[in-house]
Amino acid sequence: MRKKLIGFILLSLVLVMAAGCSGSNSGTNASQSNEPQSSAASKEKRTVTFATIAGYYTDGLKEAAQEYTKLNPETEVVIDVIKDNDTYQANFKAKMAAGGKDAPDIVHINLIGETSSADAIDKGWLLKLNDYVNQPNPYSGDKTVFEGIDPEYHQNTYSRDGDVAYLPFDLVGTGFYYNKDIFAKLGISEPETWEELLAACKQLQDAGYIPITMPFGFESTITQAFLDWSAKSLYPELLIQPGDARYDEKIHKLNTSIAYSADNGNFDFGASYDPEKQLLALKNKQYDMQGAAQRKIWTVMKELSAYYQPGYATMQDPDVYQLFIAQKAAIYWNGSWQVGTLLDDMKKLGDKSFGWGTFKFPEFAEADPLFPGKPRGILVPGHLLGIADKKDPEQESRTKDFMMYLYSPEVAQRVFETTLEAGQFVQGPSLVLGVKLPDEVNAYLTGFKVDGSMGYAIANAVPSSDTNQAKQSAQLKYYEGKLSLEEFLAEQDKILNRDMDIYIKAQQYDLDPKTNP
Amino acid sequence: MFSLDGLLTWSEIMIDKPFRPDRIRYWLKAYFFIVPSLLFVLIFLYYPMLTSIYHSFTDWNLAQAEWIGLDNYIRMFNDNTFRIALSNQLLFTVTDIVKSIVFPLLAAELILSLRETKLQYLYRTGFVIPMLIPGIVFVLIWLSVYNPSNGLLNHFLSFAGLNSLARPWLGESDTAIWAVILMGFPYITGLPFLIFLAAIGGFNKEIIESARMDGAKFRNIFLKMHLPLLAPQFKVVLLLTIIGSLQDFVRIIVLTGGGPGVSTTVPSLIMYNSAFKNSNYGYGSAVGIFLFVSILLLTLLVSKIFKSERE
């Protein structure tokens, strides 16, 4: 009994002391407030995750991540390589929908499945980088983040609401790759007009080659370039202008100085379009999807399709590439991201390698008022890096620091070099000032340097939807001769109008740009 | 510790004082072991399925869901692509049923009619081993068989002097669906073959032998004895084939992606594309629910047709 009493007293003393210590701790925390917490947080080991796609600067990014972690041991940067775009999108969306805690910190904003960066910011998925881009970058001799990036492309980074949504890393373009050896053997020169290109295709076909190969899904980049060529004069009428409900002087002031010029391929640079005006242009047939321009576009496309690789409609991308690399196909329509891979494969092919070059989207032999000026193509920032809004200031701060490191000229140069050595995607010229690509690579990129970057004011008036397959089905029937040009254009217009109606209803538009949507 | 020793029979538990403490402990142990599996099934199957019913009435993009009533279903039935997908699915399912019954059944009959046991064993093993190949590899092999430039099929036609027949089998809308259907020739490997083989091998040999002694030919034995006796196996194979056919879009996504155009698309592929490519999770859920109900109804129909005496 006595032993129990002593035990009880000792236990009570221990509990009282423990409670006292605990009380004094809380008191200290409360009195010292934020400062020690913040300091503790900055020493805390954290992981910053950069989600990328397989082969997409992967080796270069991994090396940069390792080097950064050596410099900043409290922050481990992990490059999370995701196998394809669909998985990338699903992974990001699901994690953000679950609160974002486990989402990657740095993302390619063009792969997260939002066509508008403003929408991604509104949903709380991406951070606004408005102040960040004007902060000094300690890894770039204290130039601001924006000062380290090609100023010509700053405007691209703004969302329609005027927020900086991402940092551009490189340019990306589309063009025709061709086999110089086959062309030389048959005495064909680089086509500069569509007539020359179609004649070259005929000559190649007669000589037993597959004239032109491309992933069929990628054909739309040709039709969109045609559409832009024939519709660009209309673009200024579709801009958000003073008096429109969406107009905000801070954001849309640039629109007031945009004027169409057939000779200036960049006349619409930085334009912000009014979605209701875009829809009205199609509804009111300001741009007629069954008009003369469309008839010419699809006549050329049908002629071109006769030279596509057999089975083009369902052929997988690697098989398409293989036809070109195996010298079965002489021309290959694709993006500038294939340059790195092609250079690497040519090295591997050794004495079986061949000479290759690139040429631009051609013009028509005779000027056509329906297609004014020169054609444009894709020539836009490709690697668009945004920061996920994880509502965690410390995580945000660490992520921003790594981004600054990545955008320093030395580190970006190393990323490009390592990527090229590994034969991975180098999409095009770097937009980080001070980075230089080898002359050989620059020479291959000439075919992608088009007159300007095409606009999507008409092409993207209605977001792509589940009807893509139906559109493709009509297109194939037309190519196969099962639909006439008129029937095909009517069918395409019908699908577009149905998509428009669904979209207008979903967005609750009244199709009056003057009223608040 | 739970032990299998001294397991009680059902009648012992139910009839003889079911609430005795040792019996209650027995119940609790049994539930203890079944609960984890049940939880997994509830969380990963029933919960998503039930939420899909709700989401099928919404416009859902993972971040936000807006109630839109029957719009997704109306859109689905008004969509020409969906109607084409349904007719493609019908063709796929009917041909899948033929492939999973006719060829494996014939193969099983032929193998068991061989006199040499060693030869029987050899054929049986030969047809079963390919089951070990992952399904995706099997589809990829056929993708290369159909390759228009280097494919085995076109090479064979060229070798046989039938150059004019060579074509991009998966790339033309007239041939693509049949190329997908005919993939996998001679359709003998797989579960149906094993089911039929086991069932026919288990038939009472004495009865078959006496029928033979009475002058019954192979045709009569097959039609009048084997087929009626195989009714339970037909039911299982039919159910598995219908469910598999309606759910499967892997072979289509790998071979054609549903194309050219919509020539080979099926509802399950529309579901996948809507949800995971176009972020229309609401519409994808509606297609999923449609598939679920279709499978349920077909399962009930098959069960009714092949209702056994015991049921």
What is the CB-side half-sphere exposure of residue A354 using CA atoms within 13 A? 19
Closest chain A residue to B76 measured between Cα atoms? Answer: A466
Facing B280 at nearest CB: one of A313, A466, A476: A466
- Tens digit of pLDDT per residue, chain B (311 long)? 444 445 555 555 555 666 778 888 888 888 889 999 999 999 999 999 999 999 999 988 777 788 999 999 999 998 889 999 999 999 999 999 999 999 999 999 999 888 888 999 999 898 888 888 888 999 999 999 999 888 999 999 989 999 889 999 999 888 999 999 999 888 887 889 999 999 998 888 888 888 888 888 888 888 888 899 999 999 999 999 999 999 989 999 999 999 898 999 999 999 998 888 887 899 999 999 999 999 999 999 988 888 765 55
Å between B295 CA and nearest CA of chain A: 24
- Which CATH number do you get for residue A498? 3.40.190.10
Q: For residue A461, is it within any domain?
A: yes
Are A428 and A453 within 8 A, CB to CB?
A: no
Query: A367 and A388 in one domain?
Result: no
Q: What is the pLDDT of residue B308?
A: 61
Q: For residue A473, is it within any domain?
A: yes
Query: A56 and A126 in one domain?
Result: yes
ipTM rounded to 2 decimals: 0.71
Query: A480 and A354 in one domain?
Result: yes
Query: A202 and A340 in one domain?
Result: yes
Cα(A152)–Cα(A487) distance, integer angstroms: 43
Contact A314 B280 (CB under 8 A): no
Query: A333 and A250 in one domain?
Result: yes
H/E element holding A302?
A: helix A292-305
Q: For residue A450, is it within any domain?
A: no
* Number of domains into which chain A is organized: 2
Contact A469 B143 (CB under 8 A): no
Query: A312 and A362 in one domain?
Result: yes
Q: What is the pLDDT of residue A316?
A: 83
| Mutation for B interface: A466, A479, A482, A505, most B CBs within 10 A | A466
Contacts of A465 in chain B (CB under 8 A): 278, 280
Closest chain B residue to A474 measured between Cα atoms? Answer: B261
With cut-offs at 50, 70 and 90, classify the pLDDT of residue A443: confident
Facing A93 at nearest CB: one of B62, B143, B168: B62
Q: For residue A515, is it within any domain?
A: no
Are A130 and A163 within 8 A, CB to CB?
A: yes
Contact residues, chain B to chain A, C-beta under 8 Å: 59, 61-64, 75, 79-81, 143, 147-149, 167-173, 176, 255-263, 265, 270, 273-274, 276-280, 283
Taking alpha carbons only, the member of A179, A63, A48 closest to residue A107 is A48
Contacts of A311 in chain B (CB under 8 A): 147-148, 168-172
Contacts of A83 in chain B (CB under 8 A): none
Å between A130 CA and nearest CA of chain B: 24
Q: For residue A513, is it within any domain?
A: no
Å between B259 CA and nearest CA of chain A: 6
Structural domain including A141 reads 44-170+382-427
Å between A476 CA and nearest CA of chain B: 7
Are A49 and A399 within 8 A, CB to CB?
A: no
Cα(B195)–Cα(B38) distance, integer angstroms: 28
Facing B261 at nearest CB: one of A90, A96, A469: A469
Q: What is the pLDDT of residue A380?
A: 83
Q: What is the pLDDT of residue B204?
A: 82
Facing B173 at nearest CB: one of A89, A90, A476: A476
Fold exhibited by the domain B80-305: MetI-like fold (1.10.3720)
* Phi, then psi, of A377 in degrees rounded to 5: -150, -165
Q: What is the pLDDT of residue B16?
A: 60
Query: A235 and A138 in one domain?
Result: no
Contacts of B62 in chain A (CB under 8 A): 93-94, 96-97
Å between B278 CA and nearest CA of chain A: 6
Q: What is the mean pLDDT of residues A142-167?
A: 87
Å between B260 CA and nearest CA of chain A: 5
Q: What is the pLDDT of residue B60?
A: 86
Altogether, the residues listed in chain A come to a count of: 517
Q: For residue A233, is it within any domain?
A: yes
Contact B261 A312 (CB under 8 A): no
Contacts of B51 in chain A (CB under 8 A): none
Contacts of B260 in chain A (CB under 8 A): 313-314, 472-473, 476
| Mutation for B interface: A123, A469, A478, A492, most B CBs within 10 A | A469
Contacts of B58 in chain A (CB under 8 A): none
Contact A310 B167 (CB under 8 A): yes
Q: What is the pLDDT of residue A31?
A: 34
Query: A200 and A106 in one domain?
Result: no
* Residue type at A354 in one-letter notation: F
pLDDT in tens, A350-367: 999 999 999 999 999 999
CB pairs under 8 A between A and B: 104
Contact B173 A477 (CB under 8 A): yes
Query: A151 and A296 in one domain?
Result: no
pLDDT at residue A113 tops 90: no
Contact B173 A312 (CB under 8 A): no
pTM: 0.76
Q: Higher pLDDT residue, A517 or A18?
A: A517
Q: For residue A371, is it within any domain?
A: yes
Query: A286 and A422 in one domain?
Result: no
pLDDT in tens, A192-237: 999 999 999 999 999 999 999 999 989 999 999 999 999 999 999 9
Facing B171 at nearest CB: one of A89, A314, A473: A314
Q: What is the pLDDT of residue A23?
A: 37
pLDDT in tens, B180-219: 999 988 888 788 999 999 999 888 888 888 888 888 888 8
Q: Where in chain B is the domain with CATH 1.10.3720.10?
A: 80-305
Query: A246 and A121 in one domain?
Result: no
pLDDT at residue A413 tops 80: yes
Give the 3-state DSSP-derived string for chain B, with helices as H, strands as E and coil as C.
Answer: CCCCCCCCCHHHHHHCCCCCHHHHHHHHHHHHHHHHHHHHHHHHHHHHHHHHHHHCCEEECCCCEEECCCHHHHHHHHCHHHHHHHHHHHHHHHHHHHHHHHHHHHHHHHHHCCCCHHHHHHHHHHHHHHHHCCHHHHHHHHHHHCCCCCCHHHHHHHHCCCHHHCCCCCCCCCCHHHHHHHCCCCCCCCHHHHHHHHHHHCCCHHHHHHHHHCCCCHHHHHHHHHHHHCHHHHHHHHHHHHHHHHHCCHHHHHHCCCCCCCCCCCHHHHHHHHHHHCCCHHHHHHHHHHHHHHHHHHHHHHHHHCCCCCC
pLDDT at residue A444 tops 60: yes
Q: What is the mean pLDDT of residues A247-271?
A: 86
Cα(B178)–Cα(A230) distance, integer angstroms: 40
Query: A369 and A400 in one domain?
Result: no
pLDDT in tens, A392-406: 999 999 999 999 999
Give me the residue label for tokens 């927020």.
A163
